[in-house]
């Protein structure tokens, strides 16, 4: 089945082929040469699909996070994971009984990696069980549901984080550093292009009831979030236009291609594209008075490639999910503050923008944003 997961893996295939030996060596050295004897975050993964598998594999190289449990509706997957990752029976649950994690002191946090529309109820149940939660993005399918998730986690006294792996990516963070320190000068323009040609029409990503939309919920959110952290401001208005060429595949409420534009308080503007019907689109470009920054590929699984007016970016590549989970362990266990937030409030802003984009498409009007 062709999916975003396949796309993100393939989009950087040529870069990986050229640079893999050096990056693997760097990754291994960075992972293995630093001793760590502090607290370890004990993680249960909910949803054992392709991305759940990717996270689990990456966590084998984590220092601060350890996979200790699973939640799945497929008994055969649970058995496979038990064998592969040495997970004890007492840490295995299904979707009906996982509330019992409340009585399991061996699990600190649950990483919810299920279809978008399921996140809200599952996150709230985990919170009520007294466990911290990581939700894969988008956090939910609209801002209303996202706010309910935030409220439930606050009421339960647990943390709610969201799987924004790019917030820890070194080349991305270098551009953010340059912008913050004034090296680029006044930011003028951002362009974000995110898209691929999706395959299997029966997959859940093309089911509005499960996905909450189409390309925007899946791949367009990268451009939304990227515009915010690259420009360094919150947008104050949005306009958007939808193009749909295949109504059989992209039914009502499932967007195929949306172009959208933002305005920021400083006067900077953004122009972005989200699509399920075009390949070779994974690029961020930031233009400023003193220079520019570009990432291409910008959000794939890596290695990310980038350059600025000062030259190529050469920060080392480490598997994104390995870095993400170690950093999230620091946030949960040590109160560490990330350079770019990854909490529920951060994710809620993206959901508010997505709601506004859909409204702008429907009405053909500029929609004001208050984030």
Q: What are the residue numbers of the active site?
A: 137, 222
Rounded CA separation 230/93 (Å): 40
Strand, helix or coil at 308? strand
CA max distance for the chain:
58
Rounded CA separation 148/211 (Å): 18
Alpha-helix residue ranges (DSSP H) falling in the chain = 4-10, 13-32, 50-59, 75-85, 119-128, 143-156, 170-180, 208-211, 215, 221-231, 320-334, 344-363
- Bridge-based pairing state of the strands 160-162 and 187-195: unpaired
Strand, helix or coil at 155? helix
Rounded CA separation 61/319 (Å): 9
For residues 286 and 292, the answer to whether their CB atoms sit within 8 Å is yes
In sequence order, the β-bridge partners of residue 191 are 271, 285
- C-alpha separations of 345 from 153, 162, 226 in Å: 11, 10, 16
- C-alpha separations of 53 from 96, 145, 149 in Å: 21, 27, 25
Quick check: bond before 310 cis, omega within 30? no
* Number of alpha carbons in the 13 Å side-chain half-sphere of residue 247: 2
DSSP 232-297: TS--SEEEEEEE-S-TTTS-TT--SEEEEEEE-TTS-EEEEEEESS-SSEEEEEEEESS-EEEESS
Strand, helix or coil at 339? coil
Rounded CA separation 162/149 (Å): 12
């Amino acid at each position: 089945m062709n999916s975003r997961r396949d796309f993100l893996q393939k989009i950087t295939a040529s870069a990986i082929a050229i640079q893999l030996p050096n990056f693997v060596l760097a990754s291994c050295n960075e992972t293995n040469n630093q001793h760590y004897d502090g607290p370890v975050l004990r993680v249960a993964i909910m949803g054992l699909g392709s991305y759940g598998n990717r996270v689990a594999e990456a966590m084998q190289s984590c220092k601060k996070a350890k996979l200790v449990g699973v939640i799945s509706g497929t008994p055969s997957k649970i058995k496979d994971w038990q064998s592969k990752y040495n997970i004890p029976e007492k840490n295995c649950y299904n979707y009906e009984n996982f509330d019992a994690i409340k009585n399991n002191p061996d699990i600190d946090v649950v990483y919810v990696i299920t279809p978008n529309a399921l996140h809200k109820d599952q996150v709230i149940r985990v919170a009520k069980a007294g466990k911290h939660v990581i939700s894969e993005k988008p956090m939910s399918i609209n801002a209303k549901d996202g706010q309910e998730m935030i409220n439930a986690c606050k009421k339960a006294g647990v943390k709610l984080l969201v799987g924004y792996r790019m917030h820890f990516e070194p080349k991305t963070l270098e551009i953010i550093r340059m912008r913050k320190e004034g090296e680029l000068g006044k930011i003028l323009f951002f362009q974000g292009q995110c898209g691929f040609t999706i395959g299997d029409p029966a997959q859940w990503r093309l089911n509005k009831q499960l996905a909450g939309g189409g390309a925007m919920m899946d791949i367009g959110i990268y451009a939304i979030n990227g515009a915010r952290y690259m420009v360094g401001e919150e947008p104050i208005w949005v306009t958007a236009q939808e193009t749909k060429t295949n109504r059989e595949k992209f039914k009502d409420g499932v967007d195929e291609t949306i172009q959208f534009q933002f305005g920021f308080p400083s006067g900077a503007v953004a122009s972005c594209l989200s699509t399920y019907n075009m390949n070779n689109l994974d690029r961020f470009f930031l233009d400023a008075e003193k220079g520019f920054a570009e990432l291409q590929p910008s959000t794939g699984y890596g290695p990310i490639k980038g350059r600025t007016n000062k030259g190529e970016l050469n920060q080392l590549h480490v598997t994104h999910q390995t870095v993400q989970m170690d950093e999230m362990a620091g946030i949960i266990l040590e109160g560490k503050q990330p350079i770019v937030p990854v909490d529920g409030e951060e994710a809620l802003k993206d959901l508010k923008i997505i709601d506004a984009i859909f409204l702008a498409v429907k009405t053909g009007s500029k929609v004001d944003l208050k984030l």
